[in-house]
Amino acid sequence: MEWIIDFITQYGLIAMFLFIALEYACLPLPSEVVLPLSGAMAVSSGRPLVLVIIISVVAGLLGSMICYSIGYSGGNAVLDKIMNDYPKSRKGIESTRRFYRQYATISVGIGRVIPLFRTYISFMAGITKQNLSTFLLASSLGILVWNSLLIALGYWLAERWTDVMGYYDQGKWFILGGAVVVIAFVVLKKLRQRKVGKL
């Protein structure tokens, strides 16, 4: 963790761009540290907050495209191998594919602010061959919300950003639970509309 902080402190926006792009490319890097630190760095360096947010969104989209491309080109082969090696997994994987194809845009948009889920949705979007324009639009909105929130927190609370991250760490499961409730509500509403339409 400390080496990330030291690297960003030393190399500034270049390091920030690199870490954000790699994190969105499905590498396990903590955006909860990188983004607030980027906001705090903007204060100390005198850079405009808006500039830092724009750069972070571009980096996030670049990383997301890398992950999307991997899923698009080879993701199905990986899932097919898993299903062949572990036949019991077939039903679950196929159900996940169908769900994602049906609610892809919602999943990408909302998923960007859900801990443990937001990074890897790009891989699933590629696997399901989601329309690239739709993927980029939904990703842009989700990334903008997530990055802006954490960067702004770091910017406005520059001297206490580690405390902010402590609060986030305690509350992230509430965020995850809330997101699950929202997604479940949307899915149930769609299913009810279908049943009514069939009657």
Long-range contacts of 164-172 (CB under 8 A, 24+ apart): 164/36, 165/32, 165/33, 165/36, 168/32, 169/32, 172/32, 172/115
Any idea what DSSP says for residue 26? T
Interval 119-128: pLDDT, tens: 678 888 888 8
Core vs surface per residue 159-175: b (16+ CB within 10 A) or e:
eebeebbeebeeeeeee
Band the pLDDT of 175: cuts 50, 70, 90: low
Q: Give me the pLDDT at residue 59, please.
A: 93
Q: Give me the pLDDT at residue 199, please.
A: 55
Mean of pLDDT values over 140-144: 90
Interval 58-78: pLDDT, tens: 999 999 999 899 888 887 777
The position carrying tokens 């204060």 is: 43
Interval 152-170: pLDDT, tens: 887 777 666 555 555 555 5
Interval 95-125: pLDDT, tens: 666 666 777 777 777 777 776 566 678 888 8
Q: Whole-prediction pTM value?
A: 0.68
